[in-house]
Amino acid sequence: MLVATALLGGLLAVPAAGAETGTDTGAGTDAGIGAKVPCVAADADIYRPPDRPTAAPGAVIACRHLDALPLVGYDTPLDAWKVQYGSTDGRGRPVTVAGTVVVPRAPWTGPGERPLVAFVPGTLGLGPQCAFSKQLAGQYQDAYEGPNIAALLKAGYAVAATDGAGYLDGQVHPYVSGVEAGHAALDMARAASRVPGGGVGRRAPVGIWGYSEGGSGSLWAAQLARSYAPDLDVVGSASGGIPADLKQVADNLDGQFFAGFLIDALIGLSVTHPELPFDSLLNDSGRQAVKDAESLCAVGTVAKFPGARVEQYTKDALTLEKMYALKAPDGTSWSDVAEGNTLGTGVGTPGSGARYEIGFPVLQYRGLLDEVIPAGTASATRHAYCAAGISTRYTPYVGDHLSGDAQAIGDVVSWLGDRFAGKRDAGNC
């Protein structure tokens, strides 16, 4: 749920075949079959999904080398690769995702291997043209977190930025679906060390960072890292503007200026849970709204649906509360699905037996004037982490949803740098 305020103010290689699951044989290889994957894929091939996804999590399926990225504020030589890689969805099924790996050409002069930051972008919109890898490469320009990427590169770190699931041809992004986002981020970090010539070591310390939708995705990655990707050396995770409780966020968005994000969220959850009633609930306006939302990027989404309410798009004028009560044939309700994406539940320290064990420091931050994410959900997430004994640092900024991200860049990069240096952070619970 990043973007909009500032911009709206101005407006108002041939890819390898799918790899079978197998043993990772090292950097520059496909994790499934152990074969080199040349980075000569055509750009279109990065976004063309395989007929049947079979690649192991983090396996590089296809990649394309880029000599430069049009990053504002960064003009130092770098190497970048668009990457198609294997991941898994929230039910453990193989999926294919795209993303970008960026590495400064200047040698790493710090101790150990060059650190890697798994970056999860904020809200991009559902349109296929909105994919973060396309925006980073300058193929489409909406609003993206180029300054965040530039700051990481200036610090000498490599970056593995996932697009998130659902941006390949013919797909729809599962917006706000936490496990999908967490898996995609962790598998992007795995894939970075397997890009031929990328120079990212398999034992590189990994930081995770994201804001808004990316704040949710990065915190889900933190929660899932120990169980899903124990091979990664994750040393810290920074998450800002976190939509941690989807019901609270939905109540805040319905009928308000940023209502387009709620429409995207309902579409996203219907993608991950197709058994839930959705299409059958829509009236003609609802069907058109879905069509529009699936073609727009973030700024266009906000501009298209200011003040929209869920009931105007359903046959029976369903409110959110009425929609939450509706169930799939197996008894799962919309309410169950929304609550299943709540962050901060079931967390604990290593050895606690918690569902999500976290053994590294976590940074949470927000703008105090955030008009998108309610203060209550941010506070609840912080307190849940503190109560679980997880080293948690909370930093507020005097800004709204958009500016809260920009204000934090320097602090987040510095905080991640301390984690890479092995410094302890006791948090400020």
**DSSP assignment of 314-350:** BTT---HHHHHH-B-TTS-BHHHHHHHT-TTTTEE-T
Strand duo 362-367 + 356-357: pairing: unpaired
Lowest mean pLDDT, pick from 90-104, 133-147, 277-291: 133-147
Smallest Cα–Cα separation from 212: which of 164, 168, 166?
164
| Per-residue pLDDT at 349 | 98
Residue 38: the pLDDT is: 81
Comparing 58-62, 75-79, 257-261, 407-411, the range with the smallest average pLDDT is 75-79
State residue 376's pLDDT score: 94
Residues near 100 by beta carbon (within 8 Å), at least 6 away in sequence: 69, 80, 81, 82, 83, 132, 133, 136, 137, 159, 160, 161, 163
Q: What is the predicted pLDDT for the residue at 339? A: 97
* Domains defined along the chain, listed by start: 5-244+351-420 (3.40.50.1820), 247-340 (1.10.260.130)
Q: State residue 168's pLDDT score.
A: 98
Higher-pLDDT residue of 24 and 393 is 393
Flag whether pLDDT at 27 surpasses 70.
no
Task: Provide the pLDDT for residue 142.
Answer: 80
Write down the pLDDT at residue 9: 36
Average pLDDT of the chain, as a whole number: 91
Range 38-65 average pLDDT: 95
392 in Cβ contact with 382 (< 8 Å):
yes
- Nearest CA-CA partner of 166 in 42, 285, 293: 293
**CA 193 from centroid of its chain's CA atoms:** 19
Share of the chain above pLDDT 90, in %: 88
Which is it for strands 78-88 and 116-120: parallel, antiparallel or unpaired?
unpaired
Query: DSSP secondary structure string, 12-42?
Result: --PPPPPPPS-----TTB-TTT--B--SB--
* Cα distance between residue 412 and residue 102, in whole Å: 18
Say how far apart CA 81 and CA 196 lie, in whole Å. 10
> Per-residue pLDDT for 330 more than 80?
yes
Q: What's the rounded mean pLDDT across residues 70-93? A: 94
**Buried b vs exposed e over 118-144: b needs ≥16 C-beta within 10 Å?**
bbbbbbbbbbbebbbbbbbbeebebbb
Pairwise CA distance, residues 103 & 112, whole Å: 16
| 206: number of Cβ within 10 Å | 31
Confidence of residue 141 (pLDDT cuts 50, 70, 90): confident
pLDDT score of 257: 97
Mean pLDDT check: name the lowest of 140-154, 218-232, 263-277: 140-154
- pLDDT of residue 120 exceeding 50: yes
The per-residue pLDDT for 36 is 60
Interatomic CA distance for residues 373 and 252, integer angstroms:
7
